[in-house]
Every structure is written in C-alpha cells, then in structure tokens.
Structure 1
Amino acid sequence: MGPAVELVDSRRLTGPNLHCRSAGAVVELRFGAGVDREAFIGRWREALARALTALGWTAELHARPFESPEGLRGAELMFSAAVDRLYAATEVNEWAVAVARLEAEAEPEPAAMARLAAVAAQEQAERRGALALIAAAEARGVPWLIDDDELSLGYFADSGRWPVAALPEPESLDWSRLRGRAIALITGTNGKTTTTRLLARIAARQGVRVGNTSTDGLCVDEREVESGDWTGPGGARAVLRNPAIELALLETARGGLLRRGAAVSSCAVGVVTNVASDHLGEYGIFDVEGMAMAKGIVAKIVAPGGRVVLGADSPALVAWAAAQELAAPIVWVSSEPDNPVLAEARARGGEVWTVVEGGVVRSVGLERSELCRVDEMPLSLGGLARHNVQNALAAAAAARGLGFDDAAIVAGLREFGARPEDNPGRARVWQVTRRGGETVDLLLDFAHNLAGLEAISELVRGLARRPLLCFGMAGDRGDDQLRAQARALVSFRPRRIIVRELGSHRRGRAPGEVPRILDQALRAAGLDPGAILHTESEVASLDAALELAEPGELVVVLVHTERDAVDAWLREHDARPGRLRAGT
C-alpha cells in the first residue's frame, strides 16, 4: 500500500489497561509519512468486525493514535477478549492488521477464520470451565486471578487454587470460605518503593501480616523472600495467593501497566505519588499527560468506598484527575499547605494531607489533626528530604484509607528510615574512613530520572555543602533526556563530577556514547571541563571518589545498575551508617 505500516508489538492485556477495564489483545503500530492513519484504522475495524462475527465473539474496539515530538506517528489498536482466548485474540488482531495493510500475501479470509477458530478452540479447551468459575465468582463478589497454569478464587487464607487444566464445577465449591481482602496498589514516577515500604511498616504496627512487592523484591512481614523486580502481575499473584498474608501492598510499575495491564480488577486503595518525565517513548507514551493516563489505571480500579491517593504537586496528574469520574473519593497530598488543589478539596469537605508549621496534618473539610512532627521522621532527614516527606504523606493517607489507626501511622512515621535496611539505596548516608584516618560521607540514592535528580539536588543544596558527584545513565534514554539530566547535575553545584559508563546497560548504544553526551551537556551547562572525570563502572567511580574527596566532603553517588557491587564495596570499606551534616 505504499509507505510502510510497521507492527512494533502484539501482546495480551490480562487486566484493566489504558484502553478499558477488560482483558484483550493490542497491537502497536508505526505509520510511514504517506499513510492515511484514519483510513487504516477504519480498515482494521472492518476486518476485525468480520473476524469477530465469524468466530462468534463480541468485543469492544479501541484505537489510540499518538505522535512523538519528532513527528513519529503511531497507534495502539485493542479489542477486548475473554481470558480463555487471549493468545488466539493476538493472532486475530495481527490478521486484521495484515488485511488493513492491503497486503497481497495476507491469509485469505476463509482460511484465516478456520485456522483462528481452531487456535481459539484449543486454547479454550485447555482452560475449560474458567469462564464459568469467573462468572460465578463475580456474581458473589469474590476476586479471581488466572495465569497460564492456575486459576485462584479469593485472596490469602480465604482462597482456593486449581490447575487451569483441571478446574472444578462452580456448584462443587464451598463459596462461603472464598473471599477477598483489602489490597493497595502504589505507583508513580518516583517514590513508589519508599511509599510501599513505609506503608508496610505502618501495617506491621497495626498488627497486620503484610506482603509487598517492589522493584527490589518480594517481601513478607518486611523480610525479603525473593529478590528482583516483582512489580508485575506475577508478583501480585505470588502475594495474593499466600495464605500467611493478610494484606497486599503492590508496587505497580509503568511498564507492567502498559505491557499487561493491572494485576487485579479492583482494590481498596490506589496511590499515584507523582507523574514526571521518564521512560517516554515506550508503548506510545510520549508526554507526561500520557504517563498520567497510564499511572491513572491504578486510580480507576479503586472500588467505591475505597480511597484514591494522589500527589497534588504533579500538574499532569491534577489535570488527568479533573477529567475523570472515579468511583472512589480522592485524597490529595502535598507538602505545600497552600497548594490550591488542597484548598479546593478542603472547601468541598474532602480529605487532604500536608505539612503545617513543621507538623504532618490531616484535614477533612475544616477539621484538622496533627499526627507528628516532620523532624521526628527519620525518613525526612531532618526535613531536608522533601521528597520523602511527600512519600510519607502518601503512605499515611493510604494507611488511613485501609482503616489503620493514628497510633500505627505515627509509630511507622517515627521509626521508618532509622536503619539502612528500612529503605536501602534511597537517600542513605554512609561514612567511610580512608587510609590516614580521614572520613568521607557518602549519600547513595537510586535517582535516575529528572524528578529524582531534582529531589536529591534540593536535599544536597539544603546542606550548603558542595559535593563530589558520581553519575551514569543507561542507553535507553533519548539524547535530549540525557542532556536534561546533565543540566540537572549542575544544579547540585558540584566541585567535581565523575561520569561513569554502564557497560551492561548501553541498550544498543556504542561504548562511550552515553558518557560523551553527558560530558558535552555538562560543559554546555557551564561546568569546567577540568571538573569532569570518566570511569568505566559504578565501583570504579566509588574508588575514584574516595581518592579525590577532600576530608569531610560529601560524595553523592547516584547508583543505577550495579547495586550488589556497590553494596559489596561498602562492606569491603567497612562503611558505617552516617548522618547528613550541614556545611559551615
């Protein structure tokens, strides 16, 4: 048909997603300069409608066109499908795309329908009885989970699970012992892991056995039982099917939401800490407004009577929320008491959390309660870590939404962050002694996007100490994003910057390409070329920083990929937990 239509991705959506609340199949397309996108989508709709009719399926059809700032045009084309035919649905979608391309080699329709019907029949046979069980569960208000191997009904100790190849009849079950429990989903560009961990501590002080997932691992009662990134549906199922747990706190990353959809169809509390510019350009999301839509999936599945906790300092998130009709009320949080979003919510009698004259305050309409002082919270680092104050407000608001009492909330706020293991790698301070007896302070944080860098920069500037800075980035950010991050580094007012290569995370870039872009952007931002040093790894940058640091100097290490190696380096150098000290 002339200019190309590229099929970038074809995948299953197993839960509530950017398009609708239902599971389904989606394709991501890129259009050449001369392609009439609307005409193509029309042909896709027509082809898909014929296929659905031939297969006897009903579905919702959704098209989401998008464009990048550089003019790249694309679209996601999705249709809903039952969970016992999702693999077949992806093939149906791919066939409809091939027909819409007007490809001469596209499979003839009669043959295609016969093949797709056979694929669907095989998949449905392997999951025979799944839809009947799910329908019976939904009629009784019992939550369900399904994957390639198992179907489960209910959560935790009040659940049952069976192989998808051997499912029971609905009437054979004792439905009185199957039920759901309150769960919370936490997402955001930054702060979601800290918020989840703090919320887990509050739950522990409430006397609740808690399981939580994060990008670092899967934890039960705040003890890691599995390492790695568990923020997708697999991590959620592992927690929700664990009979030893009473509450699930599920960190939910952008990638999982866009790739597969939400892990559950409903929750009691949904938290979106903030929305900022990061990971743009993936799954057809090119701006913060689109990112707010993606993160907002969590808010849209909160059940009536639950709570949606949103960060009021993110304009894109505020604008997104204003256009929604959510089933649950919004609780706004901000460390700025004069934030107009909070004022408007209070005027309507809504609940907000903020900081007033150094105190953590919950307001409901005109009623106000102070829970504790900010400087009592170790996580706040004496109030300097404003981003952690924001995370604490989100966790406290979520805890209240889960029904926890103020005593448990205050206990969690006053103790979480006092130990390095509470929140490893996030605004942690260590002290290392060099040969000769001088000490060097290390501030380690995982900040790797613009909002995270700005938060740590604000913290460091509050100390009035010029730092020595170690930084490196993976190759999956665009050149403009890398340059923006380099400019953010200059805001630290560093005495020197050590730029490191991330050899295992070049993501298709040539060796030295990312450090070179950062170096050039640092010089363009006014940093003295003599203040820039290059190393080949995160550990090498630590060695160089320890050698170059002046006695008592603050070294800021923005760890990105080699976390285990950095932890080993700290042990090797007998690093001790330290505290932030202001300059003189």
Structure 2
Amino acid sequence: MIWTGKRVTVAGLGVSGVSAARALARLGAAVTVVDGGDGERQRETAALLEKDEIAVRLGDGDTLPEGTELVVTSPGWKPRSPLFLAAAEAGVDVVGDVEIAWRLRGPDAAPWLAVTGTNGKTTTVQMLAAILKAAGLRTAAVGNIGTPIIDVVLSDEPYDVLAVELSSYQLHWAPSVRAHSAAILNLAPDHLDWHGSMQAYAADKGRIYEGNKVACVYNTADPATEELVRGADVEEGCRAIGFTLGTPGPSQLGVVEGILVDRAFVEDRHRNAQELAEVADVSPPAAHRHPAEEGAPRPQPVAPHNIANALAAAALARAFGVEPAAVRDGLRAFRPDAHRIAHVADVAGVTYIDDSKATNTHATQASLASYEHIVWIAGGLAKGATFDDLVAGAASRLRGAVLIGADRALIREALARHAPEVPVVDLDRTDTGAMAAAVSEAARLARPGDTVLLAPACASMDMFVNYGRRGDAFAEAVRGLGSERADRGGQEQ
C-alpha cells in the first residue's frame, strides 16, 4: 500500500493508537488522531504527537474528519461507535493496529504464531516466546501484550518468528492476517456487550485460523474450538492439532503419567510419542502450601489450566519445528506476570492470592477450582456476564464472599440462589479505598488454612485504571494487614 499523502484517522490515544499514528506519519500519511477524552493525559500525549506533525482532535471521538480515506481503531472501540458508522456511510474501511502491522510487513517478514481464547492468552504467548528463545530464535511476545506490534514489525533488527496474542477485538478489525499456525485455547461468554452475541464473539475468535499454513491448534475439552477449525479456510496441508490434559491420540499433545507428550509432530504418530517436558516444569503452581502445617516445603501442584496453556504453546512451537529439549527448557525458564494466581503473603495462617487478571467468569472458575477453602473477593464491571454457573460450581469451596464494585449485586444474587449459607459482605462503595476494607472483611471471615482469593470475575475500570492497579491495591492492603497484626503482637509482648 502507498501511504504517502493518504488521509488516515486513528481512533484513540492509547498505546496502540499512538504507535499506529507515528508509524503511518513516518510513512508519509496525513494522520489525524481523535479521542473523546480531553483530560491531562490526553493533552500531554496530543502535544507530543503534534510535534511530529500529527493532528489531534480531543473531546470529539464521534465525528469523521473530512476527507478520511482509512480509519485505524484501537481495540476497545465498539463496532457500532458513531465514528465507524459514519465511516461505513462514507465507504471508508475501518481496520485495527494488527491489520496495519500485517500490511506493513516486508517480503522477508517473520511468520506469526498466534494465540487467542477467552482466558490464558498472555500466559500461553509468554510460554511460547520462552520456548522459541530457548530454541535460539529471535522472537518477541507482541499483539495484545508488550511492545506494540507495529513497532516490532518495523524494527530495524529482523525477527525469526513472532508470538502474537490476539484479542477478539483485534481479530474483528484484522481481516487480512494469515498466521503460520494459530491456537484457540477456550471459548466462554465474555465481552458480549461489545460483540453483541456469543455467536459473533466466537466468529471473531475463529478468524485466527483463516489462512493458517501449518497447524490449527484446538482444545479437545472445548468442542467449540474444534468446530472453528472445521469451518476455517486454511492452506492445503494445514493440520488440526488438539491438546488435552489426558492421554493424547494421534495428532494431539497431552499428558501421560506426569509427562507432556507429543503425538502430532513425530514420525508414525499412530504408534510413537515424543516426551517434551514434565508437568513439574510448568508454572505457576495451583496453590501455596503452608510449611508450618505440612513440614518441609514440597513441590506445589500445577493448575490444570496452566498445563493446558503449556501444551498449546508447545504445539505451536513444534509446528514451527522447535526441538523437544527447547520446549522443556523454555517452560522451565518461563515466569508468569504479576496478578495471575500470585501469592502475596500468609497472615495468621491464611494465604492471600492475587488473581486480579481473572476478569471474567471462565478465568475465575479456574482460579476458584485451585483452592479448597476460599474467602472470595469479587465484583466490578460484569461486561454482560451472568454468575449462576460460577457460584453453583464453587459453592462448596466458599467460606465467605466480599463483594465490591458497580455490578456486585449480580454476584450477590447468584450467591443467594446457589450458596445461601455462605456469609456475604456487600461493600456499598466503588472508590479505590474499598479494597482495603474488602481485605479487612475477608480476613475477619477467614480461618487458618483458608485462602483469601481476589478473583473478581469482572473488569476493573469502575474503580481502577486496570486490573494491575486493582491487584496492587489488594497486595498493599494485605501487607498492611500483616503489619497491623505484627504491631499488635509487639504491643502484647
């Protein structure tokens, strides 16, 4: 595509929007950025862009600038936004930053190994990048994670392969992307307020398989992912590769007696299997043990969903030709980000776990299943979700629940229906200080040996900038709780 003089409107002043605006301006496009906000952060960003001769219009994200020939959107903007409706009426295409990155690739561009799913995307992509690095390949984890994908595609230093996390939002706006191989980890209702229906959400996820060259990786425990493989238009010779927590069949990866094995990328896969790694090589673990209760520390059990993530990452790496030893070494080297089943502290015999990244019911279900006795801190923005199945499945594990956030009533009502005996504290506040109160109430409900688990099942933006800030607030409150108890103990002495 010839960009010189092309009039491009970029929707949003977020990280991806700024990256797209600067990249297209360097290529000679006439770029205008629009954003509905007009706060201090937006004004500071606008001033920096204007120094690069990029026009910025704040306080109006609905009006299409005159003469626009292409709109580049940030992922969060909904398809029915007035700006996009105006673009459709004017016959102007709307694409995302991932689509722009794909169009900007050079003739020798690194192939993409792509991952999507309702949950586990970031962990899987980071595991995949660790495996690729262990194989001696120059790679990066990009897309819905880390460095903007446009910046990586335009980097002066060439990459061998990219590990690409793609959200349903990004896939919706990326019609041309064709991955070397791709995986859908799982599908569960999420972002239905954005997509409009589960069917539309699944269809956008399924775009990741379009045009795959070598492998479409699916979850055998989630038939919807396999169905999306069946409906995909792929290159001739591309294979469907399943992953399972059980014994794998031909063209699958799975687990046999604590060993991750490959029966897909081996000779005579009907008879042979290749050992890749041990389950113990996978992190993070499912739970924190109390050494005082169990004696010397022992290896911690690995959460099943993290084993599934490791198998999906291994399948994509093997599809790219990575040797088994690199799979093992990469999984051993991998360390998860913060706020993903992160042990914060033990206070008075109670374990405090930060899983603020559990922003939907599917992720929270996996988190709740990892612990035996739980005081659950939950709530926030529900994004159109319902909570009956989640609560019904976890009711026997709940010691108590503390609810915060704008949509906490939905969880409270589900608890009343399916776990009426569980004590519930409903904090009628949405300020950021509510987290300290929630931790204090959870500590009051918990008994020694219990786990206080922040797994909100909701988005954070009603109270916090993002889930990371929410997790930080939880951790700070827990540390404060420990300090208070230490001070009381010292006074008593």
> Which TM-score band (shorter chain)?
0.5 to 0.7
Aligned residue in 2 for 1:270: 182
> Greater share of strand residues, 1 or 2?
1
Cα distance in 2, alignment partners of residues 145 and 275 from structure 1: 23
1:312 correspondence with 2:217: no
Aligned residue in 1 for 2:58: none
- Please, which of 376, 380, 400 is the counterpart of residue 496 of structure 1? 400
1:469 correspondence with 2:401: no
Secondary structure of 1:204's counterpart equals helix
Aligned residue in 1 for 2:252: 352
Query: How far is the alpha carbon of 1:415 from its aligned partner?
Result: 3.4
Query: How far is the alpha carbon of 1:494 from its aligned partner?
Result: 0.8
Amino acid at match of 2:230: A
- Residues 371 and 410 in structure 1, CA contact (< 8 A), matched pair in contact too: yes
- Residues 339 and 471 in structure 2, CA contact (< 8 A), matched pair in contact too: no
Aligned residue in 2 for 1:370: 275
1:194-273 matched pairs, under 5 angstroms: 194-213=123-142, 215=144, 217-219=145-147, 235-244=148-157, 246=159, 247-258=161-172, 260-262=173-175, 265-273=177-185
- Residues 354 and 360 in structure 1, CA contact (< 8 A), matched pair in contact too: yes
For residues 287-310 of structure 1, the C-alpha deviation after alignment (integer angstroms, 9 at most, x for no partner) is 3x54332211111132x3x22222
How many residue pairs match? The answer is: 366
1:533-572 matched pairs, under 5 angstroms: 533-534=426-427, 536=429, 537-559=434-456, 560-561=459-460, 562=464, 563-567=468-472, 569-570=474-475
Cα distance in 2, alignment partners of residues 273 and 335 from structure 1: 13
1:293 correspondence with 2:193: no
- Residues 432 and 574 in structure 1, CA contact (< 8 A), matched pair in contact too: no
1:528 correspondence with 2:449: no
For residues 159-198 of structure 1, the C-alpha deviation after alignment (integer angstroms, 9 at most, x for no partner) is xxxxxxxxxxxxxxxxxxx521122221111111110111
Query: How far is the alpha carbon of 1:547 from its aligned partner?
Result: 4.3
Aligned residue in 1 for 2:362: 451
Indicate how the Cα distance of structure 1 residues 542 and 266 shifts in structure 2: closer, same or farther if over 3 A, else same: same
Amino acid at match of 1:466: H
- Residues 498 and 545 in structure 1, CA contact (< 8 A), matched pair in contact too: yes
1:2-401 matched pairs, under 5 angstroms: 85-86=69-70, 93-94=88-89, 146=100, 152-154=104-106, 178-213=107-142, 215=144, 217-219=145-147, 235-244=148-157, 246=159, 247-258=161-172, 260-262=173-175, 265-284=177-196, 286-287=197-198, 289-302=199-212, 304=213, 306-327=214-235, 328-337=238-247, 343=249, 346=250, 351-364=251-264, 365-366=269-270, 367-381=272-286, 382-401=300-319
Indicate how the Cα distance of structure 1 residues 192 and 146 shifts in structure 2: closer, same or farther if over 3 A, else same: closer
Cα distance in 2, alignment partners of residues 409 and 277 from structure 1: 31
Aligned residue in 1 for 2:60: none
Indicate how the Cα distance of structure 1 residues 295 and 416 shifts in structure 2: closer, same or farther if over 3 A, else same: same
- Residues 350 and 452 in structure 2, CA contact (< 8 A), matched pair in contact too: yes
1:407 correspondence with 2:325: yes
For residues 135-179 of structure 1, the C-alpha deviation after alignment (integer angstroms, 9 at most, x for no partner) is xxxxxxxxx9748xx98441xxxxxxxxxxxxxxxxxxxxxxx52
Normalised by the length of structure 1, the TM-score is 0.56
Secondary structure of 1:379's counterpart equals coil
Query: How far is the alpha carbon of 1:387 from its aligned partner?
Result: 0.7
Decide which structure has the larger Cα Rg and report it. 1
Cα distance in 2, alignment partners of residues 572 and 527 from structure 1: 28
Amino acid at match of 1:261: A
Cα distance in 1, alignment partners of residues 105 and 302 from structure 2: 46
